[in-house]
Amino acid sequence: MPKVTAHDLMEKFNLKLISGEEGIYRPITTSDISRPGMEMAGYFNYYPAQRVQLLGKTELTFFEQLSDTEKVDRMERLCTYDTPAIIISREMEIPLQLLEASAKVGVPVMSSNLTTTRLSSTLTNYLESQLAPMTAVHGVLIDIYGIGVMITGSSGVGKSETALDLVRRGHRLVADDSVEIRQEHDGMLVGRSPDIIRHLLEIRGLGIINVMTLFGAGAVRLFTPIAMVVHLEIWDQTKAYDRLGLDEETIRIFNTDLPKITVPVRPGRNLAVIIEVAAMNFRLKRMGINAAEEFNQRLTNVITDGDREEF
């Protein structure tokens, strides 16, 4: 699992470090944000110390009503060696007791000019994206009419050449050779390219080309949700390939099943057109239009009508 630290939050959200500089590289391991309202009242039985603690106007207004002894106690119990960071919203004044407690155990205290609700939302979205489970798959990822299509297959089968043809047809390259996949939400897989090969495409005999430089910024995307997988394989004469499209094969990544189509490769087949049509057909299926099922129903009706005529 990738690591996120308070230092990353400072750079991403322009947070101002107030105290606890020695703890800015503490790892943040969960995307959940805690607003310690009950803790301000003294209830620490279920205090989630491993979360980023967010103090807003409500928490600090209640805190000001406490006695000096209670203030010290609350902040010392709030700052633990497991606490990755404490953030104050609205650039409100930082309580002296919090600064003293954070200095003892090295908890970074930061300030933001955002409102509490907006800050909580943006922090949660960022942490969910960065801490999502990630894996890498050998393949190519293309955005075709808004459908994220991952093309897989053995080395040399023609994945990159097909991607180049699709880019020339107006579609957008996301990743070539290696696709980093994160499960950001249940049922949603988001693919992107490793930074080192972003916008690059390797064509055997030609070398490495920069797709954005050659075709413009509209020919690339940084990331896209993955909707389907197209697997390319060398044509096997002994294998029976699906000719109707009734058989629905899937591939599981993390706990998400993606529809998978196997396309045999042999000279004369225009793979780019086939994959483009596969993406459009996928969109139609999501809209409730399934050509294979319609044909099957027509065939069933013809057979049924023929049996009736015999009687």
pLDDT tens-digit profile of 191-232?
Answer: 999 999 999 999 988 999 999 999 999 999 999 999 999 999
Residues annotated catalytic, as ranges? 138, 159, 177, 243
pLDDT of amino acid 2: 55
- Structural domains of the chain, with CATH: 4-131 (3.40.1390.20), 134-295 (3.40.50.300)
Query: In terms of C-beta density within 10 A (0-12 exposed, 13-18 middle, 19 or more buried), how is residue 90 classed?
Result: middle
β-pair partners for 208: 202
Which residue positions form the known binding site for ATP?
153-160
* pTM metric for this prediction: 0.75
List, as one string, the DSSP characters of 216-271.
-GGGB-SEEE--EEEEEEE--TTS---SSS---EEEEETTEEEEEEEEEE-TT--H
Which residue positions form the known binding site for Mg(2+)?
160, 202
277-309 burial code (b ≥16 CB/10 A, e <16): ebbebbeebeeeeeebeeeeeeeeeeeeeeeee
The CA radius of gyration of the chain, in Å to the nearest whole number, is: 27
Sheet holding 223-225, edge to edge: 134-138, 178-185, 188-192, 223-225
**63-111 pLDDT tens trace:** 999 999 999 999 999 999 999 999 999 999 999 999 999 999 999 999 9
Which residue positions form the known binding site?
153-160, 202
Q: Between 159-168 and 271-286, two packed helices, what is the crossing angle to 10 degrees?
A: 70
Q: Count CA atoms closer than 13 A to 198's CA, side-chain side.
A: 12
Angle, alpha carbons 185-221-167 (nearest 5°): 125
